[in-house]
Structure 1
Amino acid sequence: MSAPGVGAVAGWVDSRPVPRERLDRRIAELREGPFRGTLPVPGSSEDRQLARWLTQVILTEALCEAVASELGLDPVEGEPFEGVAAVELGSINTAAYNGSPWVRAVFAHVTATTAAPPEWRSPTPAEHRPPRHLLRHRVFPDPSSAQQATSDDLDPLGRASLDSLPAAIAEELRRHPHGTLVGPVRDTLGWHVAIAVPDTASAPPPPQQGAALRPEPGPSRAPAPIAGGDALLDAARRRAFARWLDDMRAKKIELVPGLEHPGDPRQPDNHHKH
């Protein structure tokens, strides 16, 4: 599909065409870069899915560029999202955020007044918290590289519950013994590989006996502040931005045939395999 004065387009943002050349250049940069050996074979189903994924990243960047221009925002530099934060935000949103100062500017603007939901800040007794694991995880763009992955190829996510991972890979991890390299498991983000080992250091201590359970009376104290307040706010901001992007993409972005969302079940390359 093409537009007058632009030629082939990768899509439209608020009725303005985004040149296909932007996508072709991004693909060429990847094929000339250090990870070229992990990319799918040109012309394959996985290669077309990669192009669809990159299109979503580019259109998200273009959307935020337009919003930043309209609002008069300045570009923002910052640290990239990695690990659990990247998984929470989603691979497309994370790639756009990490690669574009305009996406970061819009993120800062959209989430400036975001607050963590009160229920997130309610202390939970240790015995009711979901078990934590030492997690390693990575999303691969194609099944062949995912199948060849070892634990050393995965990104360390630190201590977290399995619920912090995408549902598909979290469910598979629960079905396997601890320490098993699980995957590839496919969802709309790509092919997941992960490994989880129980975090014994964070397990609640065993209950004490007798008088130790009845502390001596003493002066009253203010409740201790809930740990992780900043982390909760950061997570809330990522969630708010992801929802804002979903809403804006639905309203402002028009896709073209052949460059649909990679998770669209109507496009021919969206075949689910484990």
Structure 2
Amino acid sequence: MTEHAALIHGEPIPRDRVNAFLKAPRRGAGNCATSHNEPAHERQRRRWATQVVVADELAQQACRERGLTPPDQLSPSQTLTVAEPDVADLGSIVAATLAHSPAARTLLADLEDKQHVPETDVQDYYHRNRDRFLTPAALRRGIDPFGVTAPQDFVPYTQARDGIASELRRAAAHRAFFDWFDRARADVEYAVGHEHPGDPSHPDHEHRH
């Protein structure tokens, strides 16, 4: 049996690193697919964990290439928390990677800093999502944001603008992170039993990420 879970440009990711991640206490969402077949469930957990560990290593390499300095790595005793909304938006592998990996968070922050959101996009978001900008008084009166309204029923654009721009930059950064991750892991070689959990080449694959 090989001692590595994966090879990144020929460099091994030790199985022990995956096992350490699996043994680390964690709460919240982000666990991999469930199964009534316990051995299959454990195999999927190992494959899922391998993806997170590989993503962490790829993010560390990307940070070095970009001259970024992540904070110290989390210790194995620290609890991994993955919020349910993050799993829904990002998928469990990426959400768990961002919770587990300071390098991935550093890379994401750098990508977010580089996003440019045109003013027209911010304005368009404000006008298309009027329901999000009703004032508390308008909400109490049950105002229909897409019906008959008055300007005072809405938070002014000047007050909402920075929050919208930040949200759009964050969404753009997530897309950029997905694109980076897909490219970065394209040439990763996985040992048997550590393949992607959605890889159709093994019989108990699942397509949830």
| Percentage of identical aligned residues | 30
The offset of 1:16, in angstroms, is: 0.7
Unmatched runs of 5 consecutive residues or more in structure 2: 73-80, 133-140, 151-155
The offset of 1:267, in angstroms, is: 1.4
For the aligned residue pairs, the C-alpha RMSD in angstroms reads 3.8
Q: What amino acid is the match of 2:199?
A: D
Structure 2 distance, partners of 1:21, 1:202, is: 58
Q: Which structure: greater helix fraction?
A: 2
Contact 1:76 1:104 in 2 (8 A): no
Q: Residue 54 of structure 1 corresponds to which residue in structure 2? A: 49
Instruction: Report the CA distance shift for 1:236/1:42 in structure 2 as closer, same or farther (over 3 A).
Output: same
Deviations 1:21-77 (A, max 9, x none): 1112222334xx678xx9878952111111111110000001112222344421148
Structure 2 distance, partners of 1:271, 1:83, is: 19
5 Å-filtered alignment, 1:98-117, equals 98-116=99-117
Q: Residue 264 of structure 1 corresponds to which residue in structure 2? A: 199
State which structure, 1 or 2, has the greater radius of gyration over its C-alpha atoms: 1
Contact 1:41 1:47 in 2 (8 A): no
5 Å-filtered alignment, 1:169-188, equals none
Q: Residue 186 of structure 2 corresponds to which residue in structure 1? A: 250
Q: What amino acid is the match of 1:240?
A: A
5 Å-filtered alignment, 1:115-134, equals 115-116=116-117, 120-123=121-124
Unmatched runs of 5 consecutive residues or more in structure 1: 3-7, 133-199, 213-222
Structure 1 distance, partners of 2:142, 2:90, is: 28
Normalising by the residue count of structure 1, what TM-score does the alignment of the two structures yield?
A: 0.53
Normalising by the residue count of structure 2, what TM-score does the alignment of the two structures yield?
A: 0.68
Q: Residue 9 of structure 2 corresponds to which residue in structure 1? A: 14
Q: Which structure: greater strand fraction?
A: 1
Structure 2 distance, partners of 1:131, 1:44, is: 47
Instruction: Report the CA distance shift for 1:65/1:89 in structure 2 as closer, same or farther (over 3 A).
Output: same
Instruction: Report the CA distance shift for 1:121/1:259 in structure 2 as closer, same or farther (over 3 A).
Output: same
Q: What amino acid is the match of 1:87?
A: A
Matched, 1:230 2:171: no
Structure 2 distance, partners of 1:129, 1:224, is: 12
Contact 2:197 2:206 in 1 (8 A): no
Contact 1:23 1:51 in 2 (8 A): yes
2:177 to 234, 237, 241: 241
Secondary structure at 2:170's aligned position in 1? helix
Structure 2 distance, partners of 1:112, 1:254, is: 32
Structure 2 distance, partners of 1:233, 1:72, is: 22
Matched, 1:207 2:154: no
Q: What amino acid is the match of 1:91?
A: S
Secondary structure at 1:206's aligned position in 2? coil
The offset of 1:129, in angstroms, is: 5.4
Contact 2:47 2:194 in 1 (8 A): yes
Structure 1 distance, partners of 2:169, 2:12, is: 36
Contact 2:18 2:46 in 1 (8 A): yes
Deviations 1:87-133 (A, max 9, x none): 3232211211111211122223334311236774342687x65998x
Q: What amino acid is the match of 2:195?
A: E
